[in-house]
Amino acid sequence: MVRLSRLASVAALLTACATANAEPSARRSAHGHGRAALPAPHVAPNPAAEGLDLPPEARACYDRLWRGGVTFELVDRRRAAGVKMPIRLASAIGGVWVAPRNRSRVHSILDCRLALRILHWSGTLRRAGVAGMEHYSVYRPGARIRGSGKVSGHAHALAIDLARLHMRNGAILDVLTDWEERQRGGEPCPMRHDEAWAGRVLRGVVCEAVTAGLFQVVLTPHHDAAHQNHVHLEFRPSKDWTYIQ
Ligand SMILES: [Zn+2]
């Protein structure tokens, strides 16, 4: 259930998604985003290249993301309260598109550091056949963790609620219906090899991200009813532990 070193810190993380992510059932169909491509050579300018007074840490993140082939725009921090390095994507990340379910402008804001984590994850996703990721939210201004009342990673745009994977073969894998074995309190990883293909792909890419240490808080349908339809993947800066359930 838990792979971590600081249980006390983790207790406060329970139920990290502050808002309901109620969503109707899944469907499978071809999707209009088409085939995922490897990152293309850059044609867009680096939005942080010059003329801006940016903190060194932010400039370094923007540069790394841009060098990774990601096109994005910087978002005015006054329009993204609580977000240290707000960006809005203008391209896929590592060949994998990332989009909010509801096309919300607010939910399309990410912290650059979360985008970098997804860039590191994108190789795993591409190898699994993923073309795109659909999420319920990343940025929710002022979001609090249900129960504890502490500030949620969503308030900083450092967490993504993964709802569906859109595959290059046209399939759509939905956490709500395709995360097959979901015993409450059970361990999300390792893999269940008796799961159907859709479940194996979903669980597989999440478990690979955990193994790689890309996210520090990972909450799956095993965690609670609020996470029955998504996986919460959160980057916590400067943390050396991972909590997964
Ligand atoms: Zn969440």
Q: What is the pLDDT of residues 193-208, one digit of tens each?
A: 899 999 999 999 999 9
CB 12 within 8 A of CB 163: no
**pTM summary value:** 0.82
Could you tell me which residue, 136 or 9, shows the higher pLDDT? 136
Cα of 70 from ligand 1 centre, angstroms: 24
Could you tell me which residue, 20 or 80, shows the higher pLDDT? 80
Q: How far apart are CA 242 and CA 235, in angstroms?
A: 10
pLDDT for position 206: 97
Cα of 19 from ligand 1 centre, angstroms: 8
Cα of 152 from ligand 1 centre, angstroms: 8
Could you tell me which residue, 128 or 11, shows the higher pLDDT? 128
Helix (H) or strand (E) holding 130: strand 130-135
pLDDT for position 103: 75
Q: How far apart are CA 220 and CA 48, in angstroms?
A: 35
Cα of 219 from ligand 1 centre, angstroms: 8
How far is it between the farthest Cα atoms of the chain? 55
HSE, CB side, 13 Å, CA atoms: give it for residue 2: 11
pLDDT digit string, tens, across residues 31-54: 344 444 555 555 577 887 777 788
pLDDT digit string, tens, across residues 1-30: 444 433 333 333 333 443 334 333 333 333
pLDDT for position 149: 82
Phi and psi at residue 182, to the nearest 5°: -140, 40
The mean pLDDT value of the chain amounts to 83
Could you tell me which residue, 150 or 174, shows the higher pLDDT? 174
Cα of 227 from ligand 1 centre, angstroms: 8
Rounded mean pLDDT, 222-226: 89
Cα of 206 from ligand 1 centre, angstroms: 14
Rounded mean pLDDT, 121-133: 98
Phi and psi at residue 167, to the nearest 5°: -95, 155
Cα of 41 from ligand 1 centre, angstroms: 32
pLDDT for position 162: 97
Residue 223 pLDDT exceeds 50: yes
Cα of 17 from ligand 1 centre, angstroms: 4
Cα of 218 from ligand 1 centre, angstroms: 9
